[in-house]
Amino acid sequence: MNPRSLVAHYDFGVRTPPLDLLAFERALLATGHLVVGIDEVGRGALAGPLTVGAVLVDRDDAPPRGLTDSKALRAGQREGLVEPIEQWCAGYSMGSVSAIEIDRWGLRLALAVAATRAIDGLAVAPTHVLIDGTFNLLDAPPRLDDDVLDAPTLTYATLSHTTVVGGDARCATIAAASVLAKVQRDRTMRRLAVEFPDYGWDANKGYGVAAHRSAIENRGPCDYHRRTWRLTAN
């Protein structure tokens, strides 16, 4: 046998321990917190809403089998996780901002508004938020002219929180929020595709693939496009 094959097939007895998706939640629950995980979907799209999911837990029951980052799952897998997630968590909610609101407020503030709406939709207020990424999704930099922007108050900007890089694959509540938000937004884009079939939203979900950009160039944008964004390649 080739020496390389011997090395490749030798069992050194090393096993990678399974990832504990509840590690962050369990530590917070042990100190009396009501924990919510939030994640966004649609940030980089050219059209359609930006949606933030929020999933609340009040105990450390095992999460649904197969739960992980929504981007790592096929559409059917995400759909199949919706009911188990809803039965597992203590509460869930979605918050969205429209393309018009994104154009008016800018992406950073629109993200915070969508996250605020998601928390507002929960029946029970959380005491700690787990957030996917590197910054507090519930807050935004100071605005220069609030009267003109007329944005809702960011009620939870100072709520206790932890940002988790790669949280949609490391935290059960964030992963669950990403799945629910992705499923809801995809359903919205499929419905809009019936009204606006030329843009191919049933397939591209509003993202900037070549066929979508070409359709915008040929037919122009519609009310669901983010008009302040660069919508075409030219």
Q: pTM surpassing 0.85?
A: yes
Name the β-bridge partners of 15.
none
Give the tens place of pLDDT for each residue, 145-195: 555 567 788 999 999 999 999 999 999 999 999 999 999 999 999 999 999
Is residue 85 within 8 Å of 55, Cβ to Cβ?
yes
The pLDDT confidence band at residue 19, using thresholds 50, 70 and 90, is confident
- Residue type at 92 in one-letter notation: Y
Question: Given this model, what pLDDT does residue 233 score?
Answer: 75
Give the C-alpha separation, 75 to 187, whole Å.
Answer: 11
Give the C-alpha separation, 138 to 158, whole Å.
Answer: 8
CA-based torsion, 201, 205, 206, 208: positive or negative: negative
Return the closest-CA partner of residue 118 out of 94, 154, 91: 94
Question: Given this model, what pLDDT does residue 142 score?
Answer: 73
Query: Could you give all domains of the chain from N- to C-terminal order, each with its CATH number?
Result: 19-219 (3.30.420.10)
Question: Given this model, what pLDDT does residue 141 score?
Answer: 83
Query: Which two tokens mark 201?
Result: 């939203």
Question: Given this model, what pLDDT does residue 213 score?
Answer: 96
Helix 75-88 vs helix 172-195: crossing angle, to nearest 10 = 130
Residue-wise DSSP of 109-130:
HHHHHHHHHHHHT-SS--SEEE
> Edge-to-edge strands of the sheet including 128-132?
91-97, 50-57, 35-41, 128-132, 161-164
Question: Given this model, what pLDDT does residue 152 score?
Answer: 85
Give the C-alpha separation, 67 to 55, whole Å.
Answer: 13
DSSP annotation of 72: G
- In the numeric block, the tokens 């992980």 are attached to 68
Residues 6+ apart with CB under 8 A from 86: 92
Give the tens place of pLDDT for each residue, 27-78: 999 999 999 999 999 999 999 999 999 999 999 999 999 999 999 999 999 9
Give the tens place of pLDDT for each residue, 187-216: 999 999 999 999 999 999 999 999 999 999
Give the C-alpha separation, 188 to 22, whole Å.
Answer: 30
Question: Given this model, what pLDDT does residue 17 score?
Answer: 53
Question: Given this model, what pLDDT does residue 10 score?
Answer: 38
